Structure formats: structure tokens, C-alpha cells
Amino acid sequence: MVIDASALLAFFQDELGADVVEAALAKGAVMSSVNITEVIGKLVGSGVAPENEVRDDILNLGLEIAAFDETQAVHAGFFYARRSPYNLSLGDCACLALAETRKLEVLTAERTWQGIPDLRVRVHLIR
């Protein structure tokens, strides 16, 4: 299962759906290094926790962090080209590209993803 930044943020902030993310993490999950950047930036930037604490918390999850490679970059570019009206960020595109290239399902809080036409990955919502 690929975890999106929105899902991991919900987990760290104990929001609705955090239990769904916790269950996915327990089974083994992967996340794009791009999305890890998003999570760290948002948690540290909002003052939720200091940088070293956020880093340690992420590393202690046992989450596989996938490097953003050339194949994913190409796939993400295709998603980014059709980002409207789904309001896809570059990070969203990186997450979807990782799921598509690895043929994995994705866990997110982004409801609009379910409406993306011709999506070749299954999207699970945390709430």
C-alpha cells in the first residue's frame, strides 16, 4: 500500500482516519520521498514538532521510503498535466506515480482522487 502525505499527516495529527493509516502501516507500506518532504515540511512548518522529532517519528514507523526515480517522474508528469479539476499537487502526482509503477493501491484523504478518469490504481480513503 502506498501512503499519501494527507494520510500520514492525519495519522500524526490524530485526525479522523488515523486508525486506518495505523492499520496500513502495521501491514507494511511505502511512501514516496517527495511525500515525506511534504509531511516533514507541514509538521515542522506548522510548529507541531521540531525537525529531529518528526524525522525520528517517521523513521520509527518502519515505512519504506521510495526514492523518486526517472520512471516515477514521467508518470507523475502525466498526472500533473491533467491535475485540473482534481486539484492535484506535485506531491499528489508523485504518490500516484509510485502506486502506478509498483502496481499498488494507495491510501489518501484526498476524495477527488476517486474521480480521476482512467486511473490505474485503486484509491482507498481514510475517512
Q: Is 62 exposed, middle or buried (0-12, 13-18, 19+ CB in 10 A)?
A: exposed
CATH assignment of the domain containing 24? 3.40.50.1010
Give the CA angle between residues 20, 108, 119 to the nearest 5°: 130
**Residue 111's pLDDT band (cuts 50, 70, 90):** very high
Please provide the size of the chain in residues. Answer: 127
Give me the pLDDT at residue 47, please: 92
Taking only the tens place, the pLDDT of each residue in 113-127 is 999 998 999 999 999
The domain containing residue 6 runs over which residues? 2-125
Closest CA to 31 of 49, 56, 7: 7
User: Taking residues 68-86, what's their average pLDDT?
Assistant: 95
Number of domains the chain contains:
1
